[in-house]
């Protein structure tokens, strides 16, 4: 029996994607942005210059948004169903990392930035474990 709900649930997906695709993915991109957030939050707490602190907040929010973007790109574009078989918690980790980036964007809690870095490192482990380093970078990571 068809319900209204099933009628309103699309089975057809239309793509508004950017996908040349270049095929280059690396969690390092997210990590660098997240490290920026971490350092900025440190500087924020160390300063008593109100103008500087406001700049810290503005820049940190932009960096956190970038972090989130890079996490999402890995999640949506790099990871494939076969990776999920190898890492059943893949969705959960990416989801938590994305949420952690939002939390860093919203606040100035150093602990939150540390959590974000740890989650990105988990994603990095899954990326390496699925051959990301060899498959997506031209010559591996620069040493």
Partner 1 sequence: MAVGAGILAGQAARRWLDVVEVRGRSMAPALLPGDRLLVECRTYARRQPRPGEVVLAADPRAADRELIKRVASVDEAAQTALLLGDAPAESTDSLVFGPVPLASIRWRAAFRYWPPERAGRL
Site for partner 1 contains 5 (CB under 8 A):
no
Select 10 or 81, whichever has its Cβ closest to partner 1. 10
Site for partner 1 contains 8 (CB under 8 A):
yes
Candidates 7-15, 42-50, 93-101, 108-116: pick the segment binding partner 1 (CB under 8 A).
Answer: 7-15
Tokens of 123: 């994603």
**At its nearest, how many Å lie between partner 1 and the CB of residue 5?**
11
- Report CA dihedral (64, 135, 21, 13) to the nearest 10 degrees: -80
What residues contact residue 28 under an 8 Å CB cut-off, 6+ apart?
124, 141
Interacting residues with partner 1 between 10 and 29 (CB under 8 A): 10, 12-20
Select 7 or 138, whichever has its Cβ closest to partner 1. 7
DSSP lists the bridge partners of residue 140 as 138
Q: Cα(103)–Cα(120) distance, rounded to whole angstroms? A: 14
Q: Are 74 and 27 in contact (CB under 8 A)?
A: yes
List of residues contacting partner 1 (CB under 8 A): 2-4, 7-10, 12-20
């Amino acid at each position: 029996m068809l319900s209204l709900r099933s009628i309103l649930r699309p089975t057809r997906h239309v793509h508004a994607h950017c996908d040349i695709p270049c095929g280059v993915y690396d969690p390092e991109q997210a990590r660098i942005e997240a490290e920026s957030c971490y350092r900025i939050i440190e500087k924020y707490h160390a300063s008593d210059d109100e103008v500087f602190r406001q700049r810290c907040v503005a820049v940190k929010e932009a960096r956190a948004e970038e972090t989130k973007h890079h996490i999402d790109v890995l999640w949506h574009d790099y990871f494939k169903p076969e990776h999920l078989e190898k890492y059943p918690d893949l969705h959960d980790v990416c989801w938590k990392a994305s949420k952690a980036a939002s939390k860093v964007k919203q606040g100035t809690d150093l602990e939150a930035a540390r959590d974000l870095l740890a989650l990105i490192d988990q994603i990095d482990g899954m990326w390496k474990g699925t051959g990301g380093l060899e498959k997506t970078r031209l010559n591996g990571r620069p040493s």
